[in-house]
Structure 1
Amino acid sequence: MAIEPYRRLLRLPGVRTLLLVGLLARIPSTAMGMALTLHVVNGLGLGFAKAGLVTMASTVGMAIGSPLSGRFVDKYGLRPILAVTTAAQALFWSTAWELPYPVLVVAAAVGGLLMLPVFSVIRQCLAAMVPVDQRRMGFSLDSMLVELAYMTGPALAVAGITTIGSAWTLGVIAVGTTGSGLALFLLNPPTRSAEELEAPAVKVPRRQWLTPAFVALLGTVASATFVLTATELSLVGTMEHAGQTQWVGLAVGIWCVYSLLGGFVYGGLSRGFSPLLLIALMGVLTVPVALVGGDWKWLILALLPAGVLCAPALSSTVDTVSRWVPSGARGEAMGLHGTALLIGGASSSPIAGAIIDAHGAPWAFFTAGLVGVTMVVIAAPFWRRRPQPPTHQPTRHPEPTAAAH
């Protein structure tokens, strides 16, 4: 596989800048959950149960707010949404450190509802800026950058809370989030391509794209993050039981590298694969990890086959959304995609944790893989009734700011 296709992708106008801003903007976003948890535990002196309530409130807010933000972007354009959500994040993160616990729970829910829609916006703009035949590569590269952000953000949050304290760390997140919102506001990337903007302004009925097949797609998206979150918890649980916790960071890092390599190779292939196939394979290949003992070296080697499919599986779901949904509803659809990712990860943590506590980490690996395969089997009958891509991409309202790009 040659590197030249990636070079051609990055030479497209605005793509390199969008991806770089997206990477930098996602780092504070990925640090938020860990920062809130450690702030409640260390800064407020409360337990992990109460910390979990705060993060749950934030997650519920994000799950509701993600498609709403996307719908507003479709209707009113990008800048108004960025202005509102950037202001809301600046207010929350600059004051969160001094809020009493009951107020913090409510504020976290509101902050989640008005979260800066970095993840969905970057994907929506990529779909507008990159030709259809290069989108799979663009989304693969974006998934790799998301992986890098998740490798960086939580680690920085831990380092910040333990060294400079909650107030300063949350303040840094406030600055980072505000800067990210302002950068996107100034950049103002297009959410629709020039061809899509030239199409007649036609209202997009939700029933045109929110079909049983699309709901099935969202279910497979949720199952993919269920598998990934449960695998991470099972990996940590296995190593903790074996007394090898000092190697957890290295093991997780190697697992992330697998995903990066898989995403790089997948983006350069001449053709893509169905998300159903990739997620099913990821689930099937996760099940045998349950048979591996506690030695972290063998464990991380056993995770290689499923690990290389992480980024390809997730990027293929984004590519499918971009192909199935008209441009006038793409923001809302990407928001629902983000909600599905949140639901899968949030539901996986307590389920996998309960299995690890009751039966051991190997059974959590087995359950994670089984959930992925089961969801694909459920989704498969609906796949044949998927919405057909329109011959032209109708828009709900013209977006005056995007035409200049």
Structure 2
Amino acid sequence: MALEPYRRVLALPGVRALLLVGMLARIPMTGIGITLTLHVVNGLGMGFLQAGLVGTGNLVGAAIGAPLAGRFVDRHGLRPVFAVTTAVQLAFWCTAPWLPYEALIPGALIAGLFNQPVFGALRQCLGAMVPAERHQSAFALDSMAVEVSYMVGPALAVAISTGFSSTVTMYAVGVGLVGTGVALYALNPPTSSPGEEIPESVPRREWLRPGLLTLLGVAASLTFVLTTTELSVVATLKAGAATQWTGLVLGLWCGYSLIGGFVYGGLPRGFSPLLLTGVLCAFTAPVGIIGGGWWWLCLALVPAGLMCAPAMSATVAAVNGRVPAGARGEAMGLHGTALLIGGACAGPAAGAVVDSHGPGWAFAAAGAVGLVLVLIAFPFWRDARRPAAAEPVSASL
């Protein structure tokens, strides 16, 4: 595999800075969920059910707010959106450690609604700054950066809470989010390619079609499978009295994804996100039948792990290429919402299967559900592949 595709992407003006800021900006965002959980359980002395309600409120707000923020980015640019969302995050995280539980739930919901559109906006900007023929390598780099952020963010939140307190962790998350907003406000990367005509309004009927909706469903199934895998790994190791190896197994799983993303981004051509997601699901289903200890689980996760980052980057590239320039922010927001929905549905579903049949069946169920959703999306794939440039876009509508 040649490194030249990556060199070409990183040589483009502003791309290195965008990827670096994007990776650092996602670290506090990936620690939000565990930080809220630890605060409710350790700081307020309540149960995991109450903590789950706070986390769910934040996720619901984020799922609603992501496409709205993307639409505002399309119409008004990055800076106004980050100015408002950063101010809201500053207000919430400065006051959240002192809020009573009854006020923390609506506060987390509002904070989620005004979440900074880091994931969607950065992908939109990356797509605008990189020529279409290099999107595969660019989005692969972005997916690898996301993996690093998820490896660092939650672990750092737990470390700070253990070494200091949940209150200090909440302030640290707040500082990180405010720093994110200030950095991206100052960087102000472009959301459209040079010379690209952006109409004032793009009707949704021109791009929000069955093909894109099923593509978003595939993205949701991807995070459903990944989140179920994570929970099933924890349950499997707990059942085998090997909980102490949980961090290592999950870390290796993320490492496999980084390797897969690196290889995929250097390939001369990409593959359909349906194919990559389907292969990931097929490799996930039999993981639970592997026995023999935690080291066997590490080996069993290799095939599916290698497909994680390629599948994710393929869905991003497909959505980016499917919609007209004036609607990419909203489309990327919907992509983020789909990812959140998939992850949110995985928790109760995986828990129910683990409790009733064991963690091995949770792997199988996740893989089967993912494959069914991919097969449902397959008939619509022709519509989803049609390039946005071929569609009529009227500035007067």
- What TM-score, normalized by structure 2, do the two folds share? 0.97
Aligned to 2:369: 371
The 5-angstrom pairing of residues 157-196 of structure 1 reads 157-196=157-196
Aligned to 1:19: 19
The 5-angstrom pairing of residues 234-313 of structure 1 reads 234-293=232-291, 295-313=293-311
Aligned to 1:323: 321
- Counterpart CA distance in 2 for 1:62 and 1:385 is 28
Secondary structure of the structure 2 residue equivalent to 1:384: helix
Aligned to 2:387: 388
- Counterpart CA distance in 1 for 2:292 and 2:117 is 39
Q: Does the Cα contact within 8 Å between 1:23 and 1:145 map onto a contact in 2?
A: yes
Aligned to 1:362: 360
Compared with structure 1, are the counterparts of its residues 382 and 41 closer, same or farther at alpha carbon in structure 2 (3 Å cutoff)? same
Compared with structure 1, are the counterparts of its residues 371 and 380 closer, same or farther at alpha carbon in structure 2 (3 Å cutoff)? same
Secondary structure of the structure 2 residue equivalent to 1:308: helix
Aligned to 1:212: 210
Aligned to 1:401: none
Compared with structure 1, are the counterparts of its residues 263 and 86 closer, same or farther at alpha carbon in structure 2 (3 Å cutoff)? same
Q: CA deviation at 1:301?
A: 0.3
Instruction: Structure 2: state its 5+ residue gaps.
Output: none
Instruction: Structure 1: state its 5+ residue gaps.
Output: 398-405
Q: Does the Cα contact within 8 Å between 1:93 and 1:171 map onto a contact in 2?
A: yes
The 5-angstrom pairing of residues 6-155 of structure 1 reads 6-155=6-155
Q: Does the Cα contact within 8 Å between 2:198 and 2:326 map onto a contact in 1?
A: no
- Counterpart CA distance in 2 for 1:60 and 1:384 is 31
Residues 94-127 of structure 1: CA distance to partner in whole angstroms, max 9, x if unpaired?
1110000010000000000000111011100001
* RMSD across aligned positions (CA): 1.4
Q: CA deviation at 1:371?
A: 1.1
Secondary structure of the structure 1 residue equivalent to 2:205: helix
Q: CA deviation at 1:2?
A: 1.6
Q: Does the Cα contact within 8 Å between 1:220 and 1:375 map onto a contact in 2?
A: yes
- Counterpart CA distance in 1 for 2:304 and 2:79 is 39
Amino acid at match of 1:264: F
Count of aligned positions: 395
Residues 239-290 of structure 1: CA distance to partner in whole angstroms, max 9, x if unpaired?
1100001111000000000000000000000000000000000011111112
Residues 52-97 of structure 1: CA distance to partner in whole angstroms, max 9, x if unpaired?
0000000000000000000010011111000000000011111110
Secondary structure of the structure 2 residue equivalent to 1:194: coil
- Counterpart CA distance in 2 for 1:14 and 1:392 is 30
Query: Structure 1: which 4+ aligned runs deviate by more than 3 Å?
Result: 391-397
Q: CA deviation at 1:357?
A: 1.1
Q: CA deviation at 1:16?
A: 0.2
Query: What percent identity do the matched residue pairs reach?
Result: 58
Point out the more displaced range, 385-394 or 354-363.
Answer: 385-394
Residues 147-186 of structure 1: CA distance to partner in whole angstroms, max 9, x if unpaired?
0000000001111111111221111111110011000000
The 5-angstrom pairing of residues 342-361 of structure 1 reads 342-361=340-359
- Counterpart CA distance in 2 for 1:253 and 1:117 is 26
Q: CA deviation at 1:294?
A: 5.2
Q: CA deviation at 1:393?
A: 9.7
Secondary structure of the structure 1 residue equivalent to 2:270: coil
Q: Does the Cα contact within 8 Å between 1:238 and 1:294 map onto a contact in 2?
A: no
Amino acid at match of 2:320: S
Q: Does the Cα contact within 8 Å between 2:75 and 2:200 map onto a contact in 1?
A: no
Secondary structure of the structure 2 residue equivalent to 1:195: coil
Q: CA deviation at 1:392?
A: 8.8
- Counterpart CA distance in 2 for 1:278 and 1:201 is 34
Amino acid at match of 2:105: V
- What TM-score, normalized by structure 1, do the two folds share? 0.95
Amino acid at match of 1:56: T
- Counterpart CA distance in 2 for 1:269 and 1:247 is 34
Residues 174-210 of structure 1: CA distance to partner in whole angstroms, max 9, x if unpaired?
11100110000000000001121xx263531111110
Q: CA deviation at 1:3?
A: 1.6
- Counterpart CA distance in 2 for 1:171 and 1:122 is 24
